[in-house]
Each structure stands twice: as C-alpha cells, then as structure tokens.
Amino acid sequence: MSRIRTKEAAEQAIAVDWTACQGHGLCAELLPEHITLDEWGYPLLDGQPVRRAAVKRARRAAADCPVLALKLTSKPAPYTADS
C-alpha cells in the first residue's frame, strides 16, 4: 500500500529545548498566540501549527531567545493511505 502526502508543504511548529530554557519569557511576548508562561516563567506551547502569517514572527522569537532554546521546526504533513 502506498502513502501520499495530503498537503504540499510541511507545517511549521514551535519546539523548546528544555535543557537550555531559563524562563526569560521573551518568547511569550513575541508570540502570544502560541506561547503563554507558567507561574515560574517557563513557556507553555499551545501545540498548534504556526500559521503562514505568523512564521516570520516565530522565526524572530526563536532568534531573539537569549539562550536559543526556542526552535521553529517542520512538522511533516500527515500521510493518508490511498485505496
């Protein structure tokens, strides 16, 4: 059985390197629609793909992280089995 991609491009997702994160909170200021902070200042991610309109800001948030703990990764598009 072969598999095909249901979408052309991979979705972008936000990831945190928890060993590097120090809870500065800048990411939540730059990308509040995807990141909130817990009571200690560490990011809580919503787990949703980053919309195309927000990818540039997500890249900036990753680049501006003081310890470079925030990453923008490619989430592969889901596969479906064709019949």
What the chain holds in terms of domains, given with CATH numbers, is 12-75 (3.30.70.20)
CA 36 to chain centre: 13
Whole-prediction pTM value?
A: 0.76
Confidence (pLDDT) at 8 = 43
| Token pair listed for 27 | 């990411």
H-type alpha helices, the chain: 26-30, 55-64
Confidence (pLDDT) at 11 = 86
The terminus-to-terminus CA distance of the chain in angstroms comes to: 8
User: Of 7-16, 28-37, 39-48, where does mean pLDDT reach its minimum?
Assistant: 7-16
CA distance 45 to 1: 35
Question: Tens digits of per-residue pLDDT, 43-67?
Answer: 999 999 999 999 999 999 999 999 9
Question: Beta strand 43-45 with 35-37: parallel, antiparallel or unpaired?
Answer: antiparallel
Higher pLDDT, residue 19 or 4: 19
> Which residues are CB-contacts of 68 (< 8 A; sequence separation ≥ 6)?
17, 20, 62
